[in-house]
Structures are given as structure tokens and as C-alpha cells.
Chains A and B, each alone.
Chain A
Amino acid sequence: MVASQDDTSIETTNDIRLDSDTLLLVRGLKTNFYTYEGVVKALDNVQFELKRGDTLAIVGETGCGKSVTAKSILRLVDSPGRIEEGQILFQDVNEEGENVIIDLLQSTEDEMRKIRGNKIAIVFQDPATYPNPVFRIGDQIAEVIALHQDLSRDVLEMKIARLEDALRTNPDAENVEEITTRIEEYKSQLDSPPPPTDKEKKEAAKKRTVETLKLVRMPSAEQTINQYPHELSGGMRQRALIAMALSCNPRILIADEATTALDVTVQAQVLKLLNVLKTELDASIIIITHDLGVVAETCTRVAVMYAGVVVEYTNTDELFSDPIHPYTSGLLRAIPKITEKVEHLLQITGTVPNLIHPPSGCRFHPRCEFATEICAQQRPPREEIKPAHWIECHHPQGSMKGRKR
């Protein structure tokens, strides 16, 4: 069942087919950084898929390429970095409700600007530096909304609501008839609302801001919009960031170590919130983390990365019950367990390699207890070793130990 790295060679985006439930397919992604010391081969042939409704984990140790993967998806890799190869296929729905497939790596910068924040949003780790410390929380979110969203319908709806309110509170007013016709007139415009004034737009954006903050369960959202980031606790700042990311109803939310700086009890709140929102908003999530506990608790599918390579990719239960790649099982054994107490933890010897001179063949081979000659010579092919369970390894372990090819 060896699948070659480029099983389908696709020239143009037109003939690409994706399963209807595949939202994002990253394939053959290669990203380098051109530094003074040399070329950092940060990502080498990264491949994984995000299914609709999934919470996908990208897990791995520091420097394995998690953030570069996220930045590559959004085409935010800055110089000296460069995306060299690959496809990032995003399955979107166009205005006619048809599925369209866009290769983000072929999109223009203009198209990317529309996708970032709108379709694919990202939340970073450090809530102290984001959001911008000198602006009020509400203004920052409102700005994002005003920038990305067509608010003309919101404005019209607000006008209608206000008039209806007036009718309700004062049903015997002289101008009832006039108001009623106005309402009818506005309602008839709902399908193609007129462009609002800047003031109206601002008001609508503010209303949406409050709604979004309520969505992330921000206590007293109406007050929070007037606060500055430093006036909020770490957990609340992170909620504000998530609100900002969600304000444009993205289809994919990427959370890059978004809960790492938080205390466990607050992390638990935020992780739970993310998954609740995923369902409420019909979005899909990519959670980037180094914490396998977070993966087990919150994610449905996992891509394990090591030194710029996705070494194992499968669903969460499968990964934890039958880890097949030696790196994954090594990691799992290195974590202190809460259910048993051992004198010594099993350790992976050595350290993460320098990606300017990554090890030949399998990048894990200098640290792998199962390595043989071939491991140093050839990169293992990406292989579906069990149904929906992909690995890159010459000598699979777990239930596939001793398997002959």
C-alpha cells in the first residue's frame, strides 16, 4: 500500500478533486529559510488533510515546524523563508453555493488577503503582545469586522429593528403609517441593501463585536469592548483574540499554541470553548501544540511532526492506542503518566537535529532505537499502514511490528 509522494500530478487547479468533506489538503509542502548559516530545511514534504468538522492536532517538539506549517498555509512565511514546493488545496464554497478548490500556493496576494481572517483565521500564543496593546479591545475587533465584512445588511436590519421598536413602545404615535411603510421599504431592500454610511457601518461593527465577545463567553462583553488588553487577564485576552479570529466566521481556525501560556484551569476553559464554538459555527480547527495531553483531550485527528516531517497521521484514538512510528511511541513513553508511577521514564536519547544539515534518510534515525542501514540512506515513503493511519518509517512498530513488505 505504498503511496508515492506525488500520486496525482496536477498542473492546474481545475482538475483537482477532493472528497467533499476535505476542507484542506496540504501536500508535498516544502519550506526553507535562507539564513547566513545556511539553508534551514524547515519543512520537507509535509502532508496532511483537514476534514470538515475535525479538530486536527499538529503536535511535536520545539522547532519541528508546526508554526512554519501554519504560516505556510496562510502564506505568511516572511523572508528569509520561502515556500519551495507543494500544494495547499482549500475547498471553499462560492457565492453560488458550489464547491471550489483553491490552491493557496497559486493564489495572488490579493486573493490571499481575502482568505486570511475571512476564511482561515489564526490565533497565536502570546496574549501579552496581541492584541495591539494601545487600542481598546472593542475597536480592534470592530476594525477587523468592518474591514472584512459587508455590513450593509446588518445596518438595514438595525434600522428595521429600531423602527419596529419605536412602533412597539409607542403604538399610538401620529406617524405610525409612515413608519410602517418605511419598514416595508427597508425590508424590500434586504436582498440588495444600499451601501451604509461610515457611521452606520461603525455602529453595526460594534454590535457584531459585542455579539462575538458574547460568543466566546466573555463576561460583561459590553464593558469589555471599552477596555485595553492589559486590563484583561490572560484567559480573557485569549478569549478576545479568539473572538477577533472568529469575528468573520472563518471556515478554519488555526490555534498556534494558543493555550500554552495559560494556567491549566484556564487552558481547560479555552480548549472547551474552542470545541464548543467549532460546532456552533460549523468551523474546523487546527490545534498546534507540543502537549500530547491537549491532543488526547480535544482533537479528533493528529499529525505528529518531527524535524520538518509529518511522521505519523491518523485519528486520535488510534494514535494513542497503536502508535506505530518509533518517535510517536517514544514520546508517549517519555511523558510521566498519572495512572502509574515508575522510577525512571523512558527517554529518547539525543537531541533534535539542526535543520541546516538534517540527518540523511529518515531524519529521526540518529535517535531511533530501531534504525538500520536503510534508515540513514533512504527517506521512508509515506505509507497507509493501516486504514486511515499514515506513517513514514521503514520499520513500523506497534501492531505492525515485524511486518514484511
Chain B
Amino acid sequence: MTSSEELIQVRNLKKYFQLTGGVFRKVMGYVRAVDDVTFDIYRGETLGLVGESGCGKTTCGRTIMHLIPKTAGEIIFEGKDVSEIKGGDLREFRKNMGIVFQDPMASLDPRITIKNAVGEPLLVNGIAKGFRLRNMVLELLQKVGLSEDHLNRFPHEFSGGQRQRICIARALALNPKFIVMDEPTSSTDVSVQAQTLNLMKDLQKEFNLTYLFISHNLSVVKHMSDRVAVMYLGKIVEMTPGDIFEDAMHPYSAALVSAVPVPDPSLRGRAHILAGEVPSPINPPSGCRFHPRCRFAKERCMEEIPELRDMGGGQLVACHFAGELDLGYKEELDASSTLAVEA
């Protein structure tokens, strides 16, 4: 149930990683993984975060969860500035949040039974032990479609999809309000992906959860999300409550949309294939970070950083010329014209 009440407010968030080198581990520069992003996540919604690898999605999710320290900015959870929470309160605060990673095998200890893996957060937080713990774990496993005879098994005895369910069960253990799903189905096959996505939607309803759903797969993000944020090189370039495939207004979002391989031959062909690759976030391009790859770039784009502007209906776009450009990607979806591949 999406509401208009903010659960999380992210304000001018920055996360820079230091690059050190040489004998004295001198600071050589910074990776600007997340560079000044501002957005809200509403209670009960799924906010999709999409972009190509290295654009800062994971860093953004982890910084919000306070798993890694931020460089600058504010994260406000239910009205409270997270960085002011200290000590025992921090542990209490963390219970509000869960995370599910892409690779369930890497996040499960191969030597620990499923019962102990899922029960760990309950035990560590002194919520339950013994028989009560076992029953709570069983209840969680049943919520994700597993059963009693799975309790004492080890991770390797499960399929990839089942392991991801175990991770979801563990993320749910402390009754969180907010869960970061970081590429939860990116290493699963489509038949299993459908099971996982359906499960996540059901759980969201049942427990009134708020999701930050991170993925590089635009179709999956569209399916899961109430609103979609598109990231490019550490910045949010577009945020839309509408259908990103229909309404994209930022040239990068449009390029992403037209690059997605669509499983429908009648939509085959794209008139514009984005040239080049994402540049390094160590020395990102000046002005609009997309300008070296943007076919609409003008002089202004090289000098001035575009701010996210409200284009109406809650759609925010960070492009100097948003609304004035003929992105043309909609026609491209059914045009089978062929442009030579650019060098």
C-alpha cells in the first residue's frame, strides 16, 4: 500500500571511496560512487533503482542502510537523522532494515544449517532461543515456501532459487519495515525469477514492507516498482512514477530503454544504439556526466551540472533540455531500421 508519507528521506548523499597508492598509501583520488543524490522512499512502495554496472546502485543501498559510512549528506528514517543514532539505539534501529543480495551462496555460510542461518538475527538480538527460536524460524521458512524438513539442511542442498528464499526469510526475521533488494534475481533463471518476484510482492503486501529494488534489468524493475529511479555515474538522472518504457524523458533513460532486448520479435530493431561505455567514476565528465555519450549534448552540457527538475506528475529529470528533445525511442521500438554500429 503506497502512501505519500516518507519512510526514508535521502538528502545530498555522497559516498566517495578513497583510492590509495604508492608505498605510503597516499590518497590518489576518489571514486565518486554516489555523488549528491536526493530522493524519498514512501512507506509501502517499491522504489526501483536501475542503471548499468558501476553506476553506484549497491553503494547507494548500503549507505542508506548504514552498512558503510557516508561521505556527506543526510539519511532520515521516519523523521530521524540516522547519523545521530548511536550505540545501543543503532542496533535497535538496524532492526528496521533488511537486505537481500544478488548471490545467495555468498551470503550464506556453507557450514551453517538453514535453521541457524535464518535464526541468527533473532538469537543475536536476544529475541528468541531454543524451541521458540526454532518455531519462529520455521514460520519464516514457511512464509517463503520452504518446510520443516529443510530446517537442518545446509545451503548446498538447495537450488539457487531456494537459497534466495532463505536469504529473504533471514532478511524478514527482525520484522523490518524496509528491505534493500540488491539484484535479488540477477543470478537466477527466468522460471525461478518469476517465483522469487511473486514471493517478494506477496510478502510486501502481507508485512507492509517498503522496498528499494536494485537491478540492472529494466523489465524486472518495471514489473516490481511503483516508481523508478535511473542512475548514471553516481547520479540519479531520472525518477518517474510512470512507465519508464513509455515516459522516459532523459536521453540516457531513453537509450537504456531502447537497448533492452525485448522478447518479442515484432518489436525488433532499434534506430539508435548508444555508443561508448560508462566512463570511470574517478574523473567523471564535467557538467552533465552523460554528455560524452549523449547525442543531444550542447556546450552548456559540458559546463553546467543539470539539476533534477520536476517535469510534472512527480517525474524528475536531470537534463538541461528535458521535454525539448525528440528522443524518438518509441517509434524506434517498432522501426526496423538499421544504423551502422558506431565505432
* A residues neighboring B (CB under 8 Å): 61-62, 217-219, 233-236, 263-269, 271-273, 276, 290-298, 316-317, 320-321, 330-332, 334-339, 341-349, 351-352
Sample (20) of A-B pairs whose CB atoms are under 8 Å apart: A217-B343, A263-B216, A269-B341, A290-B189, A293-B260, A316-B265, A317-B265, A335-B263, A336-B219, A336-B220, A336-B223, A338-B218, A338-B245, A339-B264, A341-B222, A341-B223, A345-B198, A345-B223, A349-B195, A352-B159
A268 to B262, CA, bound (A): 11
Point out the residues of chain B lying under 8 angstroms from A263, CB to CB: 52-53, 216, 277-278
Chain B, Cβ-Cβ closest to A264: B259
Chain A, Cβ-Cβ closest to B55: A263
Is A347 touching B198 in the complex (CB atoms < 8 A)? yes
A331 to B194, CA, bound (A): 9
Of B201, B245, B261, B277, the most chain A CB neighbours within 10 A belong to B261
Is B189 touching A352 in the complex (CB atoms < 8 A)? yes
Q: A341-B222, A343-B201, A347-B198 are in contact. Are A332 and B274 (CB under 8 A)?
A: no
A294 to B217, CA, bound (A): 13
Point out the residues of chain A lying under 8 angstroms from B258, CB to CB: 268
Chain B nearest CB from A65 CB (Å) reads 14
Point out the residues of chain A lying under 8 angstroms from B343, CB to CB: 217-219
B161 CB-CB contact with A under 8 Å:
yes
A339 to B219, CA, bound (A): 10
| 8 Å CB contact of A292 from B161, B256, B263, B341 | B263
Chain A nearest CB from B270 CB (Å) reads 7
Is A338 touching B262 in the complex (CB atoms < 8 A)? yes
Q: Report B239-259 CB contacts with A as 1/0, cut-off 8 Å.
A: 000010100000000011011
A61 to B160, CA, bound (A): 12
B192 CB-CB contact with A under 8 Å:
yes
Q: Report B185-215 CB contacts with A as 1/0, cut-off 8 Å.
A: 0000111111101100100000000000000
| Top 4 A-B residue pairs of the complex, sorted by shortest distance between their CB atoms | A293-B261, A336-B223, A61-B189, A263-B52
Chain B nearest CB from A66 CB (Å) reads 12
B1 CB-CB contact with A under 8 Å:
no
Point out the residues of chain A lying under 8 angstroms from B161, CB to CB: 351
Is A334 touching B261 in the complex (CB atoms < 8 A)? no
Is B256 touching A330 in the complex (CB atoms < 8 A)? no
Is A234 touching B216 in the complex (CB atoms < 8 A)? no
* B residues neighboring A (CB under 8 Å): 52-53, 159-162, 189-195, 197-198, 201, 216, 218-220, 222-223, 243, 245, 255-256, 258-270, 273-275, 277-278, 340-343
Is A268 touching B342 in the complex (CB atoms < 8 A)? no
Is A264 touching B52 in the complex (CB atoms < 8 A)? yes
A235 to B278, CA, bound (A): 10
Chain B nearest CB from A281 CB (Å) reads 14
A234 to B277, CA, bound (A): 9
Chain B, Cβ-Cβ closest to A344: B198
Point out the residues of chain A lying under 8 angstroms from B259, CB to CB: 264-265, 267-268
A140 to B260, CA, bound (A): 33
Point out the residues of chain B lying under 8 angstroms from A266, CB to CB: 277
A316 to B159, CA, bound (A): 30
Is B222 touching A336 in the complex (CB atoms < 8 A)? yes
Q: A265-B256, A335-B263, A336-B220 are in contact. Are A296 and B189 (CB under 8 A)?
A: no
Chain B nearest CB from A365 CB (Å) reads 15
Is A264 touching B256 in the complex (CB atoms < 8 A)? yes
Point out the residues of chain A lying under 8 angstroms from B261, CB to CB: 264, 267-268, 271, 291, 293-294, 296-298
Q: A265-B273, A338-B219 are in contact. Are A295 and B341 (CB under 8 A)?
A: no
Is A296 touching B192 in the complex (CB atoms < 8 A)? no
Given contacts A268-B273, A296-B261, A297-B269, 13 further A-B contacts (CB under 8 A): A217-B343, A268-B274, A290-B189, A292-B190, A292-B263, A296-B262, A297-B261, A297-B265, A335-B194, A345-B194, A345-B197, A346-B194, A348-B194
A273 to B256, CA, bound (A): 18
Q: A269-B341, A334-B191 are in contact. Are A264 and B277 (CB under 8 A)?
A: no
Chain A nearest CB from B158 CB (Å) reads 9
Point out the residues of chain A lying under 8 angstroms from B218, CB to CB: 264, 338
| 8 Å CB contact of B262 from A297, A332, A334, A342 | A297
A62 to B191, CA, bound (A): 11
| 8 Å CB contact of B260 from A264, A298, A316, A344 | A264
A335 to B222, CA, bound (A): 12
Chain A nearest CB from B271 CB (Å) reads 12
Is A335 touching B190 in the complex (CB atoms < 8 A)? yes
Point out the residues of chain B lying under 8 angstroms from A217, CB to CB: 341-343
A296 to B218, CA, bound (A): 17
Chain B nearest CB from A313 CB (Å) reads 16
Point out the residues of chain A lying under 8 angstroms from B340, CB to CB: 276
Is A296 touching B264 in the complex (CB atoms < 8 A)? yes
Is A276 touching B268 in the complex (CB atoms < 8 A)? no
A269 to B341, CA, bound (A): 7
Chain B, Cβ-Cβ closest to A64: B189
Q: A269-B341, A331-B191 are in contact. Are A235 and B277 (CB under 8 A)?
A: yes
